[in-house]
Amino acid sequence: MKRSAALVIAAVLSASGPALAVNPSEQLDDPRLEARARDLAAELRCLVCQNQSIDESEADLAKDLRLLVRERLVAGDTDEAVLAYITDRYGNFVLLKPPVTGSTLILWAAPAVIALIALVGAGFYVRGRRKVAGAEQLSEEEEAEVAAILAKRH
């Protein structure tokens, strides 16, 4: 009984898609403009939540930004003009995928630099292990010397 209930709950949860915070009162009558607004809202970061787009966020600021996007689209702005309008006011941080600039270059390059450092470090480690594993064996004379030295100590 418990198992079937758990399966039903799991099926319902897996079938449900991501919840979007757009209220019906915010939606535009023109389906093409609404689709553009949703696409743009998916590209903009909620400045309160920071890990969600404004399309997903229920924060008041996200709602205000969704309404602003729709207002600019109704005014006839292109998608690029809407994004420019919002980034002029909030900076590149409002974009979920900020452009590569001098100030964001380190953020874009950091993963590659860290991976390169890890690969170089791994190479040195493996090379060092091979030297230890491939060290030559002592000759019979050297083994005799070591045995003699150890015998003198005891």
Q: How many folded domains does the chain comprise?
A: 2
Per-residue pLDDT of the chain (154 residues; tens, 9 = 90+): 666 655 556 555 444 444 456 677 778 888 899 999 999 999 999 989 888 999 888 899 999 999 999 999 999 999 999 999 999 999 888 998 888 788 778 877 889 999 999 999 999 998 877 766 656 677 889 889 989 999 988 7
CATH code for position 11: 1.10.8.640
Strand partners, 44: 95
Classify residue 39: in a domain, yes or no.
Answer: yes
Is residue 64 assigned to a domain? Answer: yes
Q: Is residue 23 part of a domain?
A: yes
For residues 13-52, one letter each, b for 16 or more C-beta atoms within 10 angstroms of the residue's C-beta and e for the rest, the string is eeeeeeeebbeeeeebeeeeebebbbebbebbbbbeeeeb
Q: Tokens 């996007």 correspond to what residue?
A: 69
110 lies in which domain range? 105-153
pTM of the model: 0.56
